[in-house]
Structure 1
């Protein structure tokens, strides 16, 4: 579709979904509506958010940021004594790859090329590659939390990108009940894994090995 077609689609979707959107109490309810309406693609979603603001005075990003800030504060308190997971993450915008691994054992790793439909990575952009890789690290920590039956975990995420912050990751962290601290590190084995041949999936990782021994 052309840009004009995308704008028309976004405009129509918001107009037709106005009642549901006005009734939504959280950004997650808005996103659920968008998923059902089929307008969460990279091309359509930014335009849909603009149309929500224009037509309905709904600022999705503001609602999301307010919700995640409150949830992050609650999570930080709840996770103050939770087990700690340490992971390294890296993204390579030049070749379109990512890697996540345990800080003390890069054999427990997840790496490969970004999917064409990755919602964070922008082709050739290093910061979006780093953010997407970090997002995957939080997902992985969340899976380890679920497997261990824990309410929450703390994640120390080692990165080598100066512009990556915990705030960038707040929404994903809240969703997975992971309290994140981002630490800048010159020694990051995930960087080399971005150039490793082949790929590994997160399902190949021994999740309980990511948590400290009890």
Structure 2
């Protein structure tokens, strides 16, 4: 991605964090909507406004991002906030996962790495289940369980796979970090500057996924 696009994206992210800090709600909502729209524009602009039919799924993922950001803005204090947000972002990540699978010719499945990946899935799943499951109602637990194993499968896909661009791996770890920080904030204790701490890795993950996808496409085409 060209430097000016990268600069402008993170300028929008910085403005988002600043406007939230100073409670400039109207400006915050405008910038929050501008971020996924800019990613869509950048994706089209890089492709000279002509993309393959299957790549409209990337646009759909950013539409889910747009929906999720607006839902978070308007419904953060509602009791249904966490389950609905989980569903919205489940579909976004599932599209990302599908697009990575489409770009991969073959996944490295050597036996030694299979053991490592299996251990990683079990460890990650058990950690989240033990720490967070008792804090939520059963329907939320079910959604949370599905979400954990979605991430776990994504990890098995990118972990140790040289055909997956490193920035997609960074994107995955950053979105997991953001989700953990959100759960800590919602379920365990509040901490200062939580919005910036949660949203900075969240927004960075979106950039790294798009840039990683573009690099994979360039490499494998």
Q: Same fold, TM exceeding 0.5?
A: no
- Greater percentage in helix: 2
TM-score (normalizing by structure 1): 0.30
Higher relative contact order (CA 8 A, sep 6+): 1
- Greater percentage in strand: 1
TM-score (normalizing by structure 2): 0.30
